[in-house]
Amino acid sequence: MKFKEQFNTIKIKKKSMLCVGLDPELEKLPGCVQSDGDAIFKFCREIIQSTAQFTAAYKINFAFFERFGAKGWQIIERLVEEIPQDCLSIADAKRGDIGNSARHYAHAIFGELNFDSVTVNPYMGKDSTAPFLDWQEKATFFLGLTSNPGATDFQYFTQDDQPLYSFVAENIESWNKINNNCGLVVGATRPEQLREIRKIAPKLTFLIPGVGAQGGSVETVVQNIGDSNALISASRSIIYASPENDFADAAALEAEKLQRQMAPFIE
């Protein structure tokens, strides 16, 4: 079953578009787990176990694990196995390289680590993205318009009255016609552009970071995209909902709150 079909099934069953971002920083973990030699894994595992009933997907941000070298990669492998079958996995790796290199990145993430999807930078063009799209059952989320302040440095560059992010969305929508396995990353902090990009790319599943700690809201996101074909991601507001021993319970409460906000918009 393709990613999009899996997502639709999960979304309807759980009444959720929630994607929980796993961005663990050792220094920010609760004291009850911080001193444990396997703290990162145990913390993330508890977050997964406590929030899974409200969650459609988990997004593992590679940077927070790669900093630990080989041990970090082992933690990623173990966490993918912890994600329940009724939740999707997203490798937030932001890969982007020439075709031959991309082929190996795709195999590592889809073939070895068995992720359901990945984030990719489309800057180097179609040939650098094809190796990911060749995995037809998987999904590739391309960076479109990100939620960080520096997005204005390049993504708003305009030529012939068309901003770069719009041109990217237009091309990704075209690539999606081949295997129907493309998605687009669009930040929740840019509601007006969300509406614009959805008109350009009506078929793409959006991955929308920026809800919670970055200030985006579920209602604003859904109203602007006009549908529920999106995974709405929250990270810090969930995983750091409490600095105490009750961190997993607090994460579950925050995840449930977001899921309840999403439920009315899901048919």
Which of 88-97, 121-130, 136-145, 209-218 is least confident? 209-218
Catalytic status, residue 15: no
Q: Compute the distance between CA of residue 103 and CA of residue 97 in angstroms, rounded to an integer.
A: 9
- What are the pLDDT digits (tens) for 32-61? 898 888 999 999 999 999 999 999 999 999
Which residue among 14, 15, 59, 94 is the active-site one?
A: 94
Gyration radius from the chain CA atoms: 18
Residue with tokens 């787990």: 33
Strand partners, 205: 183
CATH topology assigned to domain 3-265: TIM Barrel (3.20.20)
Q: What is the pTM of this model?
A: 0.96
Query: What gap in Å lies between CA 145 and CA 122, rounded to an integer?
Result: 12
* Dihedral sign of CA atoms 4, 132, 70, 239 in order: negative
- pLDDT, mean of residues 21-30: 94
Confidence of residue 212 (pLDDT cuts 50, 70, 90): low
- Domain coordinates of the chain in residue numbers? 3-265
What would the pLDDT profile of 130-180 be if each residue is shown by its tens digit?
Answer: 999 999 999 999 999 998 889 889 999 999 999 999 999 999 999 999 999
Alpha-carbon dihedral 240, 16, 212, 26, rounded to 10 degrees:
30
